[in-house]
Amino acid sequence: MVKLRLDLQKNEWIELPKGSKEKDSIYMDGILYKSFTNAKEVMKKKSIDLVVAVTGYPGSGKSKLTEQMASFCDPSFDENRMHQTSQDFIDAIEEETQILKAHVLDEAWS
């Protein structure tokens, strides 16, 4: 597990030392952190998208995990880019002009 804080000047996540008491921070699984850090570098270099599917039982935390992953990849991510229907998701992706902007389709069967 790693503890992270968003550096607002650099607009990127900074790994905090173990035992850090900073309040404005999040925890993330260490393997997930390394995987997404590497994926972000590849996405920047090759200007490609990262597609992630999260499945599980109702109430198991899929939406929260997905929101955290999206926020890690894109610190500007907010609930306006969490889409409830596939058409809203497709429209938003087609209209997106910037790279490294996260969009989430939650409840794909809606």
Q: DSSP secondary-structure letter at 19? A: T
Domain with 43 in it:
2-105
DSSP string, 21-47: --SS-EEE-HHHHHHHHHHHHHHHHHT
Report yes or no on 86 lying in a domain: yes
Report yes or no on 23 lying in a domain: yes
Confidence of residue 108 (pLDDT cuts 50, 70, 90): low
Report yes or no on 31 lying in a domain: yes
Report yes or no on 80 lying in a domain: yes
How many CB atoms lie under 10 A from the CB of residue 108? 12
pLDDT at 13 over 70: yes
Read off the pLDDT of each residue in 4-33 and give the average, rounded to a whole number.
Answer: 90
CB 53 within 8 A of CB 109: no
Instruction: With CA atoms as reference, report the closest residue to 76 among 46, 107, 52, 98.
Output: 98
Report yes or no on 99 lying in a domain: yes
In DSSP terms, 15 is beta-bridged to 4
Report yes or no on 110 lying in a domain: no
Report yes or no on 18 lying in a domain: yes
Report yes or no on 7 lying in a domain: yes
pTM tops 0.85, yes or no? no
Read off the pLDDT of each residue in 75-83 and give the average, rounded to a whole number.
Answer: 92
Number of domains in the chain: 1
pLDDT at 103 over 60: yes
